[in-house]
Amino acid sequence: MVGRAKPEVYSTIVSQLTELLDGTGDPIATMASAAAVVHGEVEYASWTGFYRVVEPGLLRIGPYQGPIGCLEIPFDRGVCGAAARRRETVIVDDVHAFAGHIACDPASRSEIVVPVLDPSGALVAVLDVDSRLPAAFDDEDRRGLERVAGLVGQRC
Ligand code: SME
């Protein structure tokens, strides 16, 4: 399923992003770059992007790569809402078995959503990566994407 070992993929992503974001403090530029780099490197990703916290309890689409994503997700809906509410990474092996999953892409089978916290610890966004393969995401993805979310959060 995976051509390169995941730790190697995420090391590449983190080095590329660190170099690319050098001196950047703009959250949208940062999220757009992160979505492009992750989507380009993670070969099993079918959708990669950010939902931003725009008011208490509400996420709105941010920069992304892939098919059209839904515009808004309340915290009480979907995998993104669950990660935002719990402020922790959520991995779903089979989206059809997750009550409340929002199917933006009907072909999506598994998903990981990682919270993005700003330097004060406030939740500013979530990073969502979807796959058309079942159970595509594991602890290596969690570790790697949490590092990416950390890089983004520092610039928000
Ligand atoms: N599947 C997500 C919604 C967003 S997209 O798939 C792009 C969810 O259940 O939160």
* Residue 2 pLDDT exceeds 90: no
**Which atom of ligand 1 lies nearest, measured to the CA of 130?**
6
Please tell me the residue having the least CA distance from ligand 1 atom 6. Answer: 104
Q: Is 144's C-beta closer than 6 angstroms to any atom of ligand 1?
A: no
Q: Is 129's C-beta closer than 6 angstroms to any atom of ligand 1?
A: no
Tens digit of each residue's pLDDT (9 = 90 or more) over 28-61 = 999 999 999 999 999 999 999 999 999 999 999 9
Q: Contact at 8 Å (CB) between 6 and 142? A: no
* Model pTM score: 0.95
Tens digit of each residue's pLDDT (9 = 90 or more) over 63-116 = 999 999 999 999 999 999 999 999 999 999 999 998 888 888 889 999 999 999
For a substitution probing ligand 1, which of 130, 131, 132 has the most ligand atoms within 8 Å of its CB? Answer: 130
Q: Contact at 8 Å (CB) between 112 and 137? A: yes
